[in-house]
Structure formats: C-alpha cells, structure tokens
Amino acid sequence: MGFILMGIIMLASWLVGARLKSKFEKYSKLQLQNGMSGAEIAQKMLSDHGIRDVRVISTPGRLTDHYNPADKTVNLSEAVYNERNAAAAAVAAHEVGHAVQHATAYRWLEMRSKLVPVVSVASSYMQWILLAGILMLNTFPQLLLVGIILFAMTTLFSIITLPVEYDASHRALKWLENKHMLTQQEHAGAKDSLTWAARTYLVAALASIGTLLYYVMIYMGRRN
C-alpha cells in the first residue's frame, strides 16, 4: 500500500512538473507587444501599489524566482529578469504579488513566515528521526512519533503555502488585466503559466499529506 501511494505521488509530481515546463517553454516564445522585460513589469507593479522599499534584482539559475521578505527583494531568475515574453511577465508579476502581500500584512503569508524557522529545523532532522523510528519501532515507538510530529509541521507549511501562492497569482493577473499590460493572447498565456505553477504546490501539499498518513499508518500498525 505504501509503495503504491509513493508511486502515485511521484507520477503526479512528474506529470505536473513536465506540463509546467512545456507551458513555460511555449509562453516564453510569446513576445510582449509592450516590449517590457520581466524586471520592468515588476518595477511598474511595485510602483502602482505604492511600494517604494522593495528592490528588483537578478538572481542566477533557472526557476530561482522568489520574494525575500527579510531584505525586501524580488529575486528574478536571469531569463525572467531580462526577457520580454508572457511567461516572464507572469512570473515577475507573481513574485511582486508576494511583495504586495507582505506590504498589506496578508495573514496567510504572515503565518507561513512564522513557520519558516520551525520548518527549517524540522526539515534538518526529520528524515533521520523517521528512519530511526521505523528501525526501532518495536523497541522505541516514541521516536517515530517525534518524526511524525516534525513531518506534520512541514505538511502544515505546504498547506499554508497554497493560499499564499494562489493569492499571489490572483493579484498578478488582476493587475496585469486592470492596467492593460498584456494583449488578450498574452494574458491567457500568463494565466495558463501561473495555473500550472500553482498546481505544483497543490501536488506537493497532497504528496506531503499522503506521506504523513503513510507514516501514521506505520505507527498505528505496530499495535496490530
């Protein structure tokens, strides 16, 4: 049962990831008629929301885009920062969506931020504790329970991440539409890109829930 569950999770994750990659490759070829780069899109969205203390910077790598609330930076991968296509516009606006959440004290983002230190510690030790807990299940079952509690914290983090990501995409698409930043075709591409990006977080959350239940079943099964 456990191997089947893991297999389904891995397959779903691969399928969504592959679909997301193909979508971004497709919309990376859809050049913007307004000629704006991802960095310029981000700067304008920040300005339109009255946010003056957030910097837009380029970060090395691919799919490394993120907003850092600690130093208030919108970090865009080199391709997104420089390129002028629908995929870059979608990613840039999405990351600024997180900056807007931060500026407006969006409660789900605040909850996630508070969990970061806890999840960081939990992620460092839980795999070893879970492995040791399974090996020592018959002699020291409490160790597995500790591992399950730590894993539950990371699962909670994945669940809270969902509204944060979906809301950032909603803010991005709403701004792009209201400000007439994109053509109808470009906006459809941006929306499709962000929809599939959000699904990766959904799959990750479901995978975390499924894995957590798997460990719980192992722990409960010791009594049978």
| Sign of the CA dihedral running 125, 126, 131, 132 | positive
Give the DSSP per-residue string, 127-162.
HHHHHHHHHTTTT-HHHHHHHHHHHHHHHHHHHHHH
| Residue corresponding to tokens 């894995």 | 211
Other Cβ atoms within 10 Å of 121 Cβ, number = 12
Our answer to whether residue 186 is catalytic in this structure is: no
Other Cβ atoms within 10 Å of 107 Cβ, number = 11
Identify the active-site residue in 40, 83, 95, 165. Answer: 95
71 phi, psi to nearest 5 deg: -115, 10
Q: State the alpha helices, DSSP H only, in 49-183.
A: 78-82, 86-103, 107-135, 141-178
Provide the CB-side half-sphere exposure for 50 (13 A, CA).
2
Are 98 and 112 in contact by the 8 Å Cβ rule? The answer is no
Indicate the SS3 state at residue 6: helix
Are 172 and 38 in contact by the 8 Å Cβ rule? The answer is no
The residues assigned a catalytic role are 95
